[in-house]
Structure 1
Amino acid sequence: MKELPKSRLTFKESMIESQYLATKTKEEKKQYKQLSVEDKREILKEYQSKPRKEVKFESEINKSDENLSKIYQRFSEIGVEDLFGTKKEVKELPMILKDNENIMYVTSGLYNNNTYLIVCTDLRLLFLDKGMIYGLKFHEFPFEKINSVSYKKGLLFGEIIIHHGSSSIAIGSISKNTVSRMAETIQEQISIRESSM
Structure 2
Amino acid sequence: MISAEHINRVKKELAEAGVTGYGLVKSESRYLPQIIHENEHIGGAVYGQFGSGSAMLIATDHRIIFLDRKPMFTTNDELTYDVVSGVKLNQGGLFTAVTLHTRVADYALRYVNLKCARRFVKYIESRRLESNDGQPVSDTVSPAISSASSMPFLDDSAQNFLKSHDIAVLSSVDRTGNVYGAVVYYLVGQLGRIYILTKSSTTKARNILAHGQVSLTIFEENTARTLNIQGDAEYETDQKIKDFVFHEIVKPRSYDGEVQPPPVTKLSEGSFTVIHITPSSGKYTDYKQTKA
TM-score, normalised by the number of residues in structure 1 = 0.58
Q: CA offset at residue 196 of structure 1?
A: 10
Q: Separation in 2 of the partners of 1:181 and 1:77?
A: 10
Rg (Cα) greater in structure: 2
**Which of 120, 131, 152 pairs up with 2:59?**
120
Q: CA offset at residue 76 of structure 1?
A: 4.0
RCO comparison, higher one (Cα < 8 Å, 6+): 2
Contact preservation (8 Å) 2:11, 2:24: no
Contact preservation (8 Å) 1:146, 1:164: yes
Report the CA distance shift for 1:81/1:193 in structure 2 as closer, same or farther (over 3 A).
farther
- Unaligned runs of at least 5 residues, structure 1: 1-63
Q: Partner residue of 1:19? A: none
Alignment RMSD, CA only?
A: 2.7
| Residues 1-197 of structure 1 aligned to structure 2 (within 5 Å) | 65-81=4-20, 84=23, 87-132=26-71, 134-165=72-103, 167-194=105-132
- Unaligned runs of at least 5 residues, structure 2: 136-292
Q: CA offset at residue 109 of structure 1?
A: 1.2
- SS of the residue corresponding to residue 151 of structure 1 reads strand
TM-score, normalised by the number of residues in structure 2 = 0.40
Q: 1:112-154: CA deviations, max 9, x gaps?
A: 222112211112221212111x221112221111111111112
Q: What is the aligned residue count?
A: 133
More helix by share: 1
More strand by share: 2
Q: Separation in 1 of the partners of 2:93 and 2:133?
A: 36
